[in-house]
Amino acid sequence: MNLSPIRKVYQGIADRRQMFRMFDRHAQRPNRWECDDSALYRGEWFEIGEACHDYMFEILPPLWMRGEMFAMREFLTGSITSIFFTLSIDGRIRHFHGYCDLADKGSPQRMRTAIIERESRPVRAMTREERLEHIWSSTADDYRGYAGERWPEDDRGKRTVMFFARPGGTTLKVLEDLTDAEVAAKLPVHLRYLPDAIAA
């Protein structure tokens, strides 16, 4: 699994519990800590509330502050750390969390630009990738995981989710292989019928 470009991973405003869950969305990955997993986190972002933003600001002195953003002092992996943003978008103050690679000096600014561009769209819409990321972010750990040894070799290491295929029956499916109907079934009702967006 190799993600990386800047991507929204949750629709809506994450509450405190959801925020902490999403800080390590890939905790169940196989062979954790055995290789550089920076690409799994680099570029992930989601919206949080003002109280969550302020809590994270007060938890430790920031590594640095630049206008409307600050960096966490603790690194997740390698040179990847949390950047928290306070942005004015369409006349509203909103707060966001993103993972940036501080070895790349332009990373926080590119993240800021991508968030503003994505959130300034005039019509609410989601790409297929955003739908899949939301499903992964909102699925409980007991119902998501990674394809292991019993899966075909091409699928090993890919993300999987439990899917209720029929009354009383469940099946494990590779996240990226879900059909459009299965994706719609896994999304909350208010997100099911949003129009498709062209990936930015």
pLDDT band at 70 (very low <50, low <70, confident <90, very high): very high
Q: Are 28 and 146 in contact (CB under 8 A)?
A: yes
pLDDT of residue 189: 65
Q: Give the residue from 59, 88, 119 where a domain finishes.
A: 119
Say if CB 47 and CB 94 are below 8 A apart: yes
Residues 22 and 115 in one domain: yes
Please answer whether residues 98 and 113 qualify as being in contact, where contact means their C-beta atoms are separated by less than 8 angstroms: no
Residue range of the domain that includes 153:
128-192
Give the mean pLDDT of 59-84.
Answer: 87
- pLDDT at 199 (0 to 100): 45
Contact 102, 79 (CB under 8 A): yes
- 197 part of a folded domain: no
* Of 77, 92, 119, the domain-final residue: 119
Looking at the predicted structure, is the pLDDT value of residue 2 above 60?
Answer: no
In the predicted model, what is the mean pLDDT of residues 47-71? 90
Q: Are residues 11 and 69 in the same domain?
A: yes
95-111 pLDDT, tens digit per residue, is: 999 999 988 889 999 99
Burial class (CB in 10 A: 0-12, 13-18, 19+), 70: buried
Pull the structure tokens for residue 185: 């079934």
Q: Are residues 135 and 114 in the same domain?
A: no
Give 3-state DSSP helix, strand, coil % of the chain, rounded to 5: 35, 30, 35
Query: Residue ranges of the alpha helices (H) in the chain?
Result: 16-23, 38-41, 50-59, 107-119, 128-138, 180-186, 189-192
Residue 198 belongs to some domain of the structure: no
Token pair recorded at residue 136: 């992964």
Q: Do both 71 and 115 map to the same domain?
A: yes
Mark whether 33 and 112 lie in a shared domain. Answer: yes
- Name the band, by pLDDT with cuts 50, 70 and 90, for residue 200: very low
